[in-house]
Amino acid sequence: MAVETLKLDVIESKACNLYEAAMLIAKRARQINTEINEQIKAHLGDIEIDEESGEESVDRESIISEFDKKAKPTSMAVEELMNDKLEFKYVEEED
């Protein structure tokens, strides 16, 4: 995968400042990573072991490599922010 340079002013335009944009990307990346881990666990949970031969009916490595081919969570979060697919709201502080 090629690394793409992002312009800071474009990132900053998506939030109030660069720090906030970085925090949004990081939080969304963690959410995506959790979703991916749950999907992997669900797929691996479906694997049955053949009791006679002791072999797995589905190869664990093929499932894991399938998920490794997907974009990384941080890249996905950046793409969501840049394409305005990432929704967020500000929580107002109560006095």
CB 57 within 8 A of CB 48: yes
pTM metric for this prediction: 0.76
Q: Which two tokens stand for residue 37?
A: 């881990």
In a domain, 8, yes or no: no
Residues with Cβ within 8 Å of residue 57, at least 6 apart in sequence: 47, 48, 49, 50
In a domain, 22, yes or no: no
Structural domain containing residue 79: 28-43+59-86
> How many domains would you assign to the chain?
1
In a domain, 17, yes or no: no
* pLDDT for residue 52: 58
In a domain, 34, yes or no: yes
In a domain, 68, yes or no: yes
List per-residue pLDDT tens for the chain, 95 residues long: 567 888 999 999 999 899 999 999 999 999 999 999 998 888 777 665 555 555 655 577 777 788 888 899 999 999 999 999 988 888 888 86
